Each structure stands twice: as structure tokens, then as C-alpha cells.
A and B are shown apart, each in its own frame.
Chain A
Amino acid sequence: MSADFTISKGLDLPIVGAPGTTIRSVSTRGTVSVFPSEFKKLKFKCLVEEGDTVSRGAKLARRKDVPEFFVCSPVAGTVKAIHLGDRRSLKEIVIAPDGSDNSEEFQSFTVEGILRAKAENVMAVLLESGMWGVIRQRPFNRIADPAAKPKSIFVNGMATAPFRPDAHVLAQGKGDEIQLALKALTLFTDGPVHVNLSSAAKEVSDPLTEASHVQINYFDGPHPSGNTSTHIHHLDPIIPGDTVWTLRVSDLIKIGELLLTGRLPNQQRMVLAGEGFKEEARGYVDVDTGMSLADVLGNSLRDGAQRIIRGDLLAGEAVDPADTGVYFYDEGFVALPEDTERHFLGWYAPTKTQYSAHKVVPSNWLKDKLFSFGTNLRGGHRAMVLTGIYDPYVTLDIMVDPLIRACLAGETEDAIAMGILESEPEDYALCTFICPSKTDFGKPIAETLDLIEQEGF
């Protein structure tokens, strides 16, 4: 079965710095870290002490509220340090690899046999190895509740935000892993497993387009046609009370490797892109999970101050490369030049070098041109004035103006009625981008979703 959708709303940023399709490999030169803090808002109890010897796949920490869920070590070695973050939360466990191949062996499955396996057994492997963390649940985009039965499962194979990795590059050579993981997912739901791909991939034949036992859907159109919320909205919208699970292709690959080999995967493929990278460095890298981000970046950055962003430009998190490593959940990093340059009379000068989605700025009339973007706000914060300009950038059946007002006023019931549960902060990133008053839509939406999650509905 398959379905086609054409999304007409949205915007593809004409931005320079897109990645090539080359794949290189970087290995760790020092310690490897595990970051329980990457699972935001969750509390963990540490199970090891400094100096303990651990094997690959050994349990390092346990979730306090879901005792079956663990965080495990990607390498064999010695626990070198345990760092605590705010309020003594477990931030980072540093492991010095000993170069040995000691590994925990989890139960393994075959591509043919997995459909006959019991869902509980597969789930137990995912929970014990910490791999469960890649399966997320909507609404609220948190780690899936193993006790819940999702009405359907969505796999995102076409992220459109700049610069999310191309799922088809990630999938190269991972046919068995992907097929195994997809079949495993069908065990967890009575509904369909949707694999959502870009219509540009229709002619391609690779592990994603040829996947079996799942429903493959094609989406055409500008960003956010590749956002998971868009896919859910068009295929099986969330009604308050519903639960759906979501994954990305990189998550499928990790699940597939674990179930196929019985060992915790210790490598992952990421994208490095953005104008802040040297041109030859923009592309894909295979890295060791948990390695220092500074090692990954090496000398691939261009001169000048660069902001390193985990995730994408529209909904990412600025990080300090010296202070973090490759998270289990990472798919890529963007380097964006810091831009604090002041332009003389720039508020009305007819700029040709700064992109705008608004016709009032002359650069908008230049077609087929790629623009440089920096971190500059390009204006000052003001009260919101223009109305109705945000709706063309949100693909869901949501009126943005009333919703954001309800969020700012803390009216959670109104926000739910207007459809906030269908969405995530990333779905409003383009509204933030185009807002002439420089309003940040992400924050009020995220805060309202948190509030609803706490209060229940």
C-alpha cells in the first residue's frame, strides 16, 4: 500500500552550505562519553562508579521512573569520570576504552525469523540495551511508553529542514538492518507502520523504497513537508487521547544492527553541513558514538567565529564543541557563521545579499539564488503587529495567530482545541524565521506543551 501527498505550504530556504554525498570516517582518539542528559527531563540513577571496568553494552544508568530502561556503554573500558549537571542530575559518564572486544550479548534475530518472535522479547532487548530511547511518542515527543499500544508508527525518511541528513545516504548498505527493524516495529502495533519518503526518491531503489510489510508514502513539497507532524496529520492525525510512535531512519539502522548482531552498535552516520564548514568537509561522516565533538569537527571549520548547532538550523540547539560529544540521538551538526556585523541604514537599504520570504524586501524578487545566512537577528524585537502571515508556513490544520496568543496567555484548553497536540515546536520554526517582529514561536509552544503534559488533559 502507498499514498501520495503534495504539500503546497511552506518554504525551502535558499541557503548555501548544503552537504555533498561523500562519506568519510572519523574515529575517536580519546575517551568515549555517554550522556544520560540527552534524554531531556528524565532522571537517571547511576549504576557504576569511577574505576569500574565495563564491557560494550554494560548497563551504566537506570531510569528512575521506568526501571526496565537502561543507558549502556558503547565501548569496553574503564569508567574514568562521572559528571553531574544541574541539580545533581547525571550529565555524563566518561569511559576510557581499553581496546578489547568484551561485549554483552543480547538476543539476536534474523530478518526472516523476526515476525515469529514475541513482541515482549524484542522489547526487552531494546529496553535493556538502552536502544528503546530512539523510539519516541507523540503527543509531547517523549520516549515511548513501553506499556502503551500506539495506533500507528511513523518512520521519517525525508527530513526537509536545513540541513537534516538525506535518509537515502544514511541507508546505504544497511538493507538488512532496516528491513529487520521495520518488521520488528510491526510487532508493536495493530495499526500500520508508515515509512514516509520524499517523492524525489520514487525512482530510486534502495532499502527504504523497497521495504516490505510497511506502508510507504511519498510527500512532495517544500519544508515542512518532511516534518513528522506533517506526515501524521495527513495519514493518521492525533486526536486527544491517541498515541503514535515516531522514529527516524538513523534510528531504524541502530535498532536493526542491535537485533541483527546482538551487540550494541557503536558507530553512527551523521551529516556535517553549513557555511561554517570548509567546502570539502560538508558531507557525511561515520563516527564513534560518544566521541568528543571537537574530535569530529577536527579542522573542518572555516576561519572566524562559528556557531555549532546540534540538529538543524530551524530547530536545533547551539552547543560548545569542547563540552559535548556525539549523542546517541544525533543525526548531524551545522556550522553557521556568527554574524554581528552592523549595516549602515540596513533597515531600508535594498539588500541583495540577505534573503527574505517577504516581498517588501527586494532580495525576495531574486529567484534561484542561494544566500548566505549568519546568526544575525536582522532586526530588533518588537511587539507582534502583522497578522495572518504565518499560516502559509504551517502544514497542519492550525490557525497560528490565535494559537500563539493562547499559548502566550497560558490558555492550555484553548491551545488543545486549536490543535497544539498535533504539533511540535519545530513545526513553527518557519514562523519564527519569517516574523518581522522577531518573535520566537518555539518557546511559547514548547512551554505550553510542557504545561499540558504536566497538567494532563
Chain B
Amino acid sequence: MKDFKKLIEEKHDEIRPQFEEGGKLEKLYPLFEAQDTFAFTPPDTTKGMTHVRDAVDLKRVMFTVVIALIPCLLWGIFNAGHQYYHYSGIEAGLFATLFRGMLIVMPIVLTSYIVGGIWEVTFAIVRKHEINEGFLVTGLLFPLTLPPTIALWQVAVGISFGVVVGKEVFGGTGFNILNPALTARAYLFFAHAKDMTGEIWAAAKDGATGATPLGLGASFGGEGLDVKAALADRGHTFWSMFGGLEAGSIGETSVIPILLGAGILIVAGIGSWRIMVGGCVGLAFTAILMNFMPTQGLEAGKMVQFTTWTQIPFLYHFVMGSFLFGIVFMATDPVSAAATNVGKWIYGALIGVVTVLVRITNPGFPEGVMLAILFMNVMAPIIDYYVVQGHIKNRNANLRKFSYAKG
């Protein structure tokens, strides 16, 4: 190990001059810097008035998010293999399922990393700044939000849109308004809607439609049926959706790996628990409120049955679709979320509220969480603005109290 380390260090020192100022490959310095600081911590020392620094750096923070995503990735691989064999009507063992899942999922992940990485490096070279580790997260988050049947060229187009339009046009990581991974997904969702939603495993065996529970639910008409029973009829109970052995996007179907990831993020102090809890409260509150909506009423003088989709129990909202995945991994992206602690509560809660509203009131978009998060990304600066104004008001009131108390 020591020799290996030494060898790498020597090789780096050998090629370093070519990348430094005046060298042949000077322009590619960000690429060298990324590789060099990946192998070894940088030798830089502190400047300015604070002379000591914490051992944490952004590489560690970002990579911890990647680690938190790994349970979802593993589950996604298994589930993709399982769905493949399920809809092909073939019985397969665990190993074959995993292997098939790898064949389906890994190309998607690799495409996302490679194509997105090329953009990231290009911008770093043109702008002459370091390659930001945030891309490690975006490059994995994005494929996990895609259906496993997506075409690779679509993945490439999507991540290109996400990185370039979602992030780099604003100035790169730290300056973007929208979450780049979600921007990429939203682009695919609107540009290639039929490949992104509904009956993704259409190569079906008899009787199976391959529809996701949310897609199904949105298609229920106003026939006055019991939603729970109707879903159960089609094979979706609370616990089956909790377990997640079902059609859906790669990373979001099962609740268990998402909760594992949430645990990692919260214990490590990286993901904001305020946003997560706020989101869950907002979702539950709105879903319960929706349950009180009338299911029938007068329309043009006739008593008609409205959609029963409003009657779905609030717990179902947590396990259907990608709400948990979104609130844990997407909404907590600190760059596009609200920056103040109070703001995070409001931001999270409103994501929950908007998710239910989109799901229930707009059957055109069965999944509301993506739109909800993007919408609240845009609103986050406004939330922060009012939180800060409120804080300033409180501050001044406190200061005034002090001067009165002194007479």
C-alpha cells in the first residue's frame, strides 16, 4: 500500500508541470486538479485570520450523499431485474435477477455520469475553476428518477439539459436556482412524456399493464368506487407499495432504502431534517384535508359523482410515487432549497402541499412531487426574503426593549 501510494505521488509530480501555468496542457488543469486531489488531500495552507480548519471538506460531504443513495441504487437494480423477468413471464433466481438488473441500470447510471461529467469538465476548463463534487450527486440522482426502460440517448440528452441549463448557465454549483437532477428529469418528462410515465413495461404478459399505482389512480373515473379496494384489485396494497417490488422509477419504488438514506443524511448532518419533516407534515395535512372533499354534488342541476381520487388515505400518499425519494434527496439539495431554518420548514411543508394538490387536482400529471419541488425551488428565495425580514423586525423589537428597559 505504501509503495502504491508513493508510486502515484511520484507519477503525479512527474506530470504536474505539464498542467501548471506555461505547461503544454495548462488548459486541462481542472482535470488534473480533480484527479490529484482525489488521490491526495491538497497541500494548501490557510490564509487570512483563521489559521486552523476543520477536517471536513466538500468532497466528503458530497460523497456521503452518494453513499446515502447506494441503498436505493441497489434496490433499483434488483427491482429492475425483477420487473424484467416478471413482465417477460420468466422465473429467475436471485443471481439472475441482480445480473439482469445490472444490465438494465448500470448503462443508465454510466451514461449519466459520463455525459454529465463531460459537460462539467468542459465548463470547469472554460471557466477555469475546480470541478465541483456536487456532480457526483447529480449524476447518480438523475438516473434513479428515471424508469428503467428509458433509452440511453434520452438519458444523455436529459443530463445534458440538467447540467447546462439547470446549473451552468447560472454560474455553476452554488449559484443554480433549480435542482439540476430534477431539471433534467423535468425536461425528459415534458419532452418524452410517453417514455417517462404510465405503462413503462408495455412488453407485457397477459393481464399486467405495467402501470405504476399513481398512474393507475389518476385514471380512476368518477364511478364512486373505493380507492383502496380499487388499488388492491390491481395488486397494490399499502405494504406492497411500501416494499416497492413494483413498476416505477429506478430508485423510488421502495420506502426501506429511502429511509435508510434519510437516516444517513440526518445522522451525518447533511440533509436537512427540517425539510423532510416539514414535507411529510405538509403532505399528510393536505391529504387528510382532501379526504373531506365532497364526493358528489350538483352539476348543471344533476347529482353527479366526483373523482374518488381525493379519498385516498394519507399514508398511501407517502408510499405511492416518488414523494419520499423527492423530499429526502431532491428537496434537501441545499443550493436550491431555502437557506434559513424557518424557511426550510415552510419550503418543505409547501412541497408536501403542492405534491398532493398536483396529484389530486391534475390528472394530467400523475406525479406531483417533481413539479412541487421545482416550483418551491423557484419560491425558496422569496421564502428566505420574508424570513429574513421577519428576523430583522424581531431583532429591532428586541433591541428597542433593551433601550426602554434602561430608560
Contacts and interface: CB of A to CB of B under 8 A. Distances in A.
A347 B41 contact: yes
Contacts of B272: 388
B70 to A, nearest CB: 14
Nearest to B4: A344
A397 B64 CA distance: 32
A402 B388 contact: yes
A255 B150 CA distance: 78
B123 to A, nearest CB: 13
A437 interface: yes
B24 interface: no
Contact of A437 (B58, B268, B384): B58
B50 A314 contact: yes
A419 B49 contact: no
A381 B130 CA distance: 8
A322 B137 CA distance: 49
Interface stretch (B83-91, B221-229, B332-340): B332-340
A311 B231 CA distance: 69
B331 to A, nearest CB: 13
Contacts of A13: 52
Contacts of B392: 417-418
B169 to A, nearest CB: 15
A440 B226 CA distance: 59
Contact of B56 (A358, A399, A417): A358
Interface string B1-45: 000010011000000000000000000000001000111111111
A88 to B, nearest CB: 26
Nearest to A309: B51
A344 B50 contact: no
B270 A360 contact: yes
B339 A401 contact: yes
Given A314-B52, A347-B57, A440 B63 contact: no
Contact of B53 (A239, A378, A384, A389): A378
Contacts of A346: 40-41
Nearest to B342: A399
A220 interface: no
Nearest to B65: A360
A440 B47 contact: yes
A interface majority secondary structure = loop
A375 B46 contact: yes
Nearest to A430: B50
B49 A377 contact: no
A21 interface: no
Interface residues of B, number: 62
B267 interface: yes
Given A373-B52, A399-B391, A237 B399 contact: yes
A388 B344 contact: yes
Interface stretch (B95-103, B139-147, B171-179, B234-242): B171-179
Interface in A228-258: 236-237, 239
Interface in A337-388: 338-348, 351, 354-361, 363, 373-388
A309 to B, nearest CB: 6
Contacts of A419: 395
B199 interface: no
A338 B339 contact: no
B269 to A, nearest CB: 5
Interface centre among A373, A399, A433 (most CB of B within 10 A): A399
B60 A313 contact: no
A429 interface: yes
Given A316-B51, A440-B50, A340 B59 contact: no
B54 A358 contact: yes
Nearest to A371: B55
A15 interface: yes
A92 interface: no
Interface string B246-265: 00000000000000000000
Contacts of B340: 387-388, 399, 401-402
A239 B401 CA distance: 11
A239 B403 contact: yes
B48 interface: yes
A391 B340 CA distance: 10
A224 to B, nearest CB: 13
Contact of A344 (B39, B42, B267): B39
Given A342-B9, A381-B130, A387-B334, A360 B53 contact: no
A356 B56 CA distance: 6
A318 interface: yes
Most buried by B among A387, A417, A432: A387
Nearest to B406: A236
Interface string A294-332: 000000000000010100011111100000000000000
B219 interface: no
Contacts of A442: 48-50
Contact of A433 (B54, B57, B335): B54
Contacts of B133: 382
B45 A375 contact: yes
B190 interface: no
A195 to B, nearest CB: 19
Interface of B: 5, 8-9, 33, 37-61, 63-64, 130, 132-134, 172-175, 267-270, 272, 334-335, 337, 339-341, 344, 384, 388, 391-392, 394-395, 398-399, 402-403, 406
Interface of A: 13, 15, 236-237, 239, 307, 309, 313-318, 334, 336, 338-348, 351, 354-361, 363, 373-389, 391, 397, 399, 401-402, 417-419, 425-426, 429, 432-438, 440, 442-443
Given A341-B43, A418-B395, 6 more contacts: A347-B59, A360-B61, A360-B270, A377-B53, A378-B53, A379-B59
